[in-house]
Amino acid sequence: MPRRREMKPTLLYHNMLVSARNGGAEQLALQIHRHVMSEHPGMGELLVPGGGATEQLVRAEGFDFQTFRLDWLRSPGYARRALANLELAVKLRNARGLLHVHSPYVYGAMQPYLAFSRLKTILHLHLDYTDGQLEWTIKRPPDLLLVCASFMRERVARILAARGAPQAKIVTAINAVDTERFAPVERAAAKQSMGLDPQRPVFLMAANLAPHKGQATAIRAMHALLSRGFKPLLRLVGEERDQSGAFTRELHELVAQLGLQEYVQFLGFRTDMPQLLHAADCLLLPSTHEGLPLSILEAQASNVVVLAAPTAGIPEVIDDGCTGFLIAADNVEGYAAAAAAVLADEALAQRIREAARRQVVANFALRHYCERISSEYQALLGPEAAAAKAAT
Tens place of pLDDT for every residue, the chain, 392 residues? 444 444 444 689 999 999 888 778 888 999 999 999 999 999 999 999 998 889 999 999 999 999 999 999 989 899 999 999 999 999 998 889 999 999 999 999 999 999 999 999 999 999 888 888 888 888 889 999 999 999 899 889 988 888 776 677 999 999 999 999 999 999 999 999 999 999 999 999 999 999 999 999 999 999 999 999 999 999 999 999 888 899 999 999 999 999 999 999 999 989 899 999 999 999 999 999 888 899 999 999 999 999 999 998 999 999 999 999 999 999 999 999 999 999 999 999 999 999 999 999 999 999 999 999 999 999 999 987 767 666 66
**195 and 102 part of one domain:** no
Residue 2 domain flag: no
Q: What is the CATH number of the domain that holds 277?
A: 3.40.50.2000
**113 and 137 part of one domain:** yes
Other C-beta atoms lying within 10 Å of the C-beta of residue 276: 23
Residue 8 domain flag: no
pTM of the model: 0.89
The pLDDT value given to residue 9: 45
**213 and 297 part of one domain:** yes
Whether residue 184 contacts residue 302, with contact meaning beta carbons closer than 8 Å, is answered with: yes
**86 and 160 part of one domain:** yes
**281 and 304 part of one domain:** yes
The pLDDT value given to residue 128: 85
Other C-beta atoms lying within 10 Å of the C-beta of residue 340: 18
Backbone angles phi, psi at 247, to 5 degrees: -70, -35
Residue 369 domain flag: yes
**369 and 344 part of one domain:** no
Q: At what angle do helices 215-227 and 246-257 cross, to 10 degrees?
A: 10
Residue 212 domain flag: yes
The pLDDT value given to residue 140: 84
Residue-range definition of the domain harbouring residue 48: 13-176+365-391
**354 and 315 part of one domain:** yes
Q: At what angle do helices 215-227 and 332-344 cross, to 10 degrees?
A: 60
Residue of 235, 212, 229, 258 lying closest to 336 (CA atoms) = 229
Residue 5 domain flag: no
**44 and 149 part of one domain:** yes
The amino acid occupying position 84 is: A
**223 and 127 part of one domain:** no
**39 and 78 part of one domain:** yes
Residue 166 domain flag: yes
Backbone angles phi, psi at 111, to 5 degrees: -55, -40
Q: What does each C-alpha distance from 342 to 212, 271, 282, 356 come to in angstroms?
A: 25, 27, 9, 14
The pLDDT value given to residue 4: 45
**351 and 223 part of one domain:** yes
What is the number of domains present in the chain? 2
The pLDDT value given to residue 52: 86
Residue 3 domain flag: no
The pLDDT value given to residue 145: 95
The pLDDT value given to residue 279: 98
Residue 64 domain flag: yes
The pLDDT value given to residue 284: 98
**127 and 228 part of one domain:** no
